Amino acid sequence: MPVLSDKRILSVLKHKEIILACMALSCIWPLQFISNIDLPADFTSVDISWMLSLSQGWEQQRIWGEEIIFTYGPLSFLSTRVITGSSTAWILLLFDLYVAGSFVYIMYKILKQAFTWRRATVILATCFFYKQAMLLSLVFTLQLLVILYLNQYKHEKKWLLLLQAILLTTLIFYIKFNLAFVSMLVFILYIVYLNRAEIISIKRACITLCCLVASVLVFSILLPVRLGSYVTTGLELVLGYSDAVYLYPQSFWENALAGVILIVFFSMPVLILKEFKYNNTAQKILGSMFILLLFVVFKQSYVRADIEHLKDFFYCAPPFIIVCMYMSAYRLAFMQWTVIVLWLISVGITISFKDYFYPFKKIAAFPVYVYSVFQRPDYSKQISKRELPPYIKEVIGNASVDVIPWESSLPIVNGMNYVPRPVLQSYQAYTEKLDLLNAAMYNGNKAPEYVLYSINSIDQHYNFFNDTQLKKILYNRYYSTQEFSCGKEELILFKSFNVRMQRDFRKVFTEERNINDTVQVPASKYPLMVKINMQYSWVGAFQKFLLRAPYSAMEMHMIDSTAASYQMAASVLEGGVFIDRYIKNRDDAVKYFQGQAEKINKIKSIQLQVGNALCWKDKVTYEWYEMR
């Protein structure tokens, strides 16, 4: 018997690499759950709304880049796991099988090439601590697989490995656009590295890059996407992101986590750059690539510095650091200790979120996944948490309807004919160009017949500063018919006019003031808009690129001696905002759109407030417009 037992042990050890690779897969499988997302009892969250909207857009084959403009692409459901129809489920299953197979194959190859129990332990620990990081985990996992496939080409020189990397990079391009070009740049850098390391010829390198371009073009034909506008509008979203949606840490723990992230982010590149003098050109390219990847992980976490985003860094950065150490000549002890510290902090975050059963979730991941494949969530059954009043549903009937600013789950779970504007949610229309795209849709034949409107806003922003061009069309072509509540949320129902009014913004005058001046709002009997051109200094531009946009706010002083201050975005002010009346609640909004502005508290003056004057140019230009 002992002999037989020993034989069994030897048999197991003979296949230890594949067994350990499967164990590693089981540790990341929870990232691939087909989620059964539950809507909050009182109001619908921003994230759930856009997830449902994108899924419905896929089911209806709306065109990305024209009919849908968002930071996620047509294959976003592969990341969000939210699908509203049945036709997508088989795609999810095939995709998951492909990713799982790729992951096991790469882990097996890594272990097989030079097996050590230390390497196996590091791989398993990395996969175990790689916790769900909002919606970033899938895209970053695919990016790591791309790099590891390209690295495997160094050892085997097989075309199939390059083709796998091309396919995964293309999938990233159509899953999450704001990481698409980074992924393509990483791919290009690695091909250049392989060429400089004399592993791939210039001819094969050029063919490989052409294959990547061809793959993107082929997918653009197969998917509901207009490639040119998908790229241009996506770039507009990416360029305005830091301007408009930044958040500064507020609590002690947010500041502490942000501090740790800063230390790691600035120290790691310094250590890698110090090694450059000892490395050849190929290793310098590889080091630069990983600095770029670490920068991306940093920006994804640091721009919106709340706990939900900051914690992503502690889940996503360690795998990148470990892969960097595995693939390059960098064996700095500081990197190893950095990974351990990040893991310890991630455990602390998990405990602080009271996720005590996280290890058991890892163990039960696969059975739960199999169950979720066959037990699809039906979001329409959650209507009880978000049901519109019966008389509102009766009024709208089968007519087209949109939602302002972002609660798109309302018409979806209520089974209405939801026709969204291109930029789905108002907080993302943070440049004049994006705002005009939405306004053009409302001003055309595809305009929704009804609009559900509330005065919600994200972060500490003023609700009436979003959608200025769209609000102009709402003012001209729609009228309010009903005021009602859904849960705790107060809404207005707008219906389109048969007659189009032609009121437009007409410039009154321009003035230049110091950035901290109190500026008087001109008296006018018409709705008043101001375009404020406040420009970053080179210090502010550098801070925006490297960290997040410099803080700015606007304080509004009313005629009744009250005041209100809101966080502001330079790109939103530059596009123009309504400024004549202070819209504090739903009743004010109704009066404003009914042309009864005289019944609303007037804004007497405004003052820009900046966190650091060095980040801004002293002079600010104000352009005043009347809508008449």
CA–CA gap between residue 293 and residue 103 (Å, rounded): 20
**Nearest-10 Cα torsion for 440, 444, 448, 450:** 90
Domain-terminating residue out of 436, 461, 496 = 496
Q: Show the DSSP H helices in 130-158 as ranges.
A: 136-156
| Closest residue by Cα to residue 93 from 321, 373, 338, 335 | 373
For the domain that residue 609 is a member of, what is the CATH number?
A: 2.60.120
Task: Give the predicted TM-score (pTM) of the model.
Answer: 0.91
Residues 474 and 513 in one domain: no
Domain assignment present for residue 487? The answer is yes
22 sits in the region (left: phi over 0; alpha: psi -120 to 50; else beta) called: alpha
Total tally of structural domains belonging to the chain = 2
Token pair, residue 122, equals 């590091």
Domain assignment present for residue 140? The answer is no
Domain assignment present for residue 394? The answer is yes
Q: Are 294 and 305 in contact (CB under 8 A)?
A: no
pLDDT tens digits, 175-228: 998 888 899 999 999 999 999 999 999 999 999 999 999 999 999 999 999 999
For residue 307, count other CB atoms closer than 10 A to its CB. 15
pLDDT along the chain (628 residues), means of 10: 53 77 85 60 71 90 94 90 76 88 94 88 90 70 94 92 96 91 93 93 95 96 95 90 88 92 91 82 90 92 89 90 85 84 89 76 73 69 78 93 91 91 91 93 92 88 91 92 87 86 88 93 92 94 92 94 92 93 93 91 94 92 93
Residues 480 and 535 in one domain: no
Q: Show the DSSP H helices in 328-364 as ranges.
A: 333-352, 358-363
Domain assignment present for residue 272? The answer is no
Residues 529 and 599 in one domain: yes
CA–CA gap between residue 589 and residue 464 (Å, rounded): 9
Q: Can you give the pLDDT at residue 299?
A: 92
Q: Which domain holds residue 553?
A: 505-627
Residues 556 and 611 in one domain: yes
Residues 477 and 549 in one domain: no
| Closest residue by Cα to residue 544 from 317, 246, 257 | 246
Residues 597 and 615 in one domain: yes
CA–CA gap between residue 530 and residue 192 (Å, rounded): 49
Residues 597 and 560 in one domain: yes
Residues 554 and 465 in one domain: no
Q: Can you give the pLDDT at residue 1?
A: 43
Residues 509 and 621 in one domain: yes
Q: Are 157 and 114 in contact (CB under 8 A)?
A: no
Domain assignment present for residue 202? The answer is no
CA–CA gap between residue 230 and residue 14 (Å, rounded): 50
Residues 461 and 541 in one domain: no
Token pair, residue 116, equals 């050590």
Domain assignment present for residue 553? The answer is yes
CA–CA gap between residue 119 and residue 163 (Å, rounded): 27
Q: Can you give the pLDDT at residue 73?
A: 94
Domain-terminating residue out of 462, 496, 530 = 496
Q: Can you give the pLDDT at residue 621?
A: 95
Q: Can you give the pLDDT at residue 34?
A: 57
Domain assignment present for residue 220? The answer is no
Residues 387 and 413 in one domain: yes
**What order of strands is seen across the sheet that includes strand 400-404?**
417-418, 400-404, 450-453, 489-496, 478-486
Domain-terminating residue out of 461, 496, 531 = 496
Residues 435 and 516 in one domain: no
Domain assignment present for residue 510? The answer is yes
Q: Can you give the pLDDT at residue 44?
A: 59
